């Protein structure tokens, strides 16, 4: 695969980068020679492995720990990334979680607040913190992670997760319009059914089999198969005229 050359030495922050899609994206950016701030919550060992792979590939990596659901954590993580890397060219808002599946009637106020604090507020806060830094340097790239669930409503018991990812998709379009005059492009990637630790933890085998039966490619995707969409959106060489878009990576499960 021919990698975009303009990502070399770009300063990137990837949230939730110790495993799954975030780890695959961080490694892909590192393979392009980017400098990558790897955010993690509890997976220090996994994050260290991602950093090691990035440095072997010729990139540079720093580790940043924090729970994005805690108020103040995301502002700190963005500031630390910019301080460690010297700038912030690319922000990947990947961190998020389905957490658990609950029917609406069994969903407590506390769980509602936790889902919002995990999937919505961190994306908004990270963008709010990154925009002044990008404006100061004349531009930048933001890629948010939505989900196929934002279009389908998700599987059983995931109404809040699906709705939170729909917020991300809509916020992406709104922010792209707002920031276009600042030369800041804002796009999203919507993964489908992907083999990740979150999928393993939250999707019962029978529900996964039912989902696979609806996928034209007849299989679950891998985190690495999502990474190319992120590289495309991050690269000015490849996507300079692309903003406000949502790339679906779902094996044909949904064809908008």
Q: How many CA atoms lie within 13 A of 252 on its CB side?
A: 8
Taking a C-beta distance cutoff of 8 angstroms, is the pair 168, 188 a contact?
A: yes
Cα–Cα distance measured from residue 189 to residue 146, given in angstroms and rounded to the nearest whole number: 6
Q: How many CA atoms lie within 13 A of 186 on its CB side?
A: 28
DSSP 106: G
Which residues are the active-site residues?
Answer: 161
Nearest to 22 by CA among 223, 192, 187: 223
DSSP 39: E
Residues ≥6 apart with Cβ < 8 Å to 217:
251, 252
Nearest to 107 by CA among 162, 174, 38, 149: 162
DSSP 188: E
Instruction: Find the distance separating the first CA and the last CA of the chain, reported in whole Å.
Output: 27
Cα–Cα distance measured from residue 211 to residue 94, given in angstroms and rounded to the nearest whole number: 23
């Amino acid at each position: 695969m021919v990698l975009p050359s303009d990502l070399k030495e770009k300063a990137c922050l990837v949230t939730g980068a110790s495993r799954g899609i975030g780890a695959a994206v961080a490694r892909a950016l590192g393979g392009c020679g980017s400098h990558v701030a790897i955010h993690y919550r509890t997976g220090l060992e996994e994050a260290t492995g991602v950093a090691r792979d990035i440095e072997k590939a010729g990139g540079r990596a720093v580790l940043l720990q924090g729970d994005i659901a805690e108020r103040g954590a995301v502002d700190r993580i963005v500031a630390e990334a910019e301080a460690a890397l010297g700038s912030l060219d690319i922000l990947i808002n990947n961190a998020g979680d389905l957490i658990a599946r609950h029917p609406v009637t069994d969903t407590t106020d506390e769980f509602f607040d936790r889902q919002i604090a995990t999937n919505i507020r961190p994306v908004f806060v990270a963008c709010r913190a990154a925009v002044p830094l990008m404006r100061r340097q004349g531009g930048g790239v933001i890629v948010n992670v939505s989900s196929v669930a934002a279009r389908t409503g998700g599987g059983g018991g995931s109404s809040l997760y699906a709705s939170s990812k729909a917020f991300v998709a809509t916020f992406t379009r709104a922010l792209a319009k707002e920031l276009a005059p600042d030369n800041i492009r804002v796009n999203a990637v919507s993964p489908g059914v992907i083999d990740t630790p979150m999928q393993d933890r939250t999707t019962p085998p029978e529900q996964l089999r039912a989902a696979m039966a609806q996928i034209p490619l007849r299989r679950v995707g891998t985190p690495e198969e999502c990474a190319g969409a992120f590289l495309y959106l991050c690269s000015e060489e490849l996507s300079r005229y692309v903003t406000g878009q949502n790339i679906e990576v779902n094996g044909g499960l949904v064809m908008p």
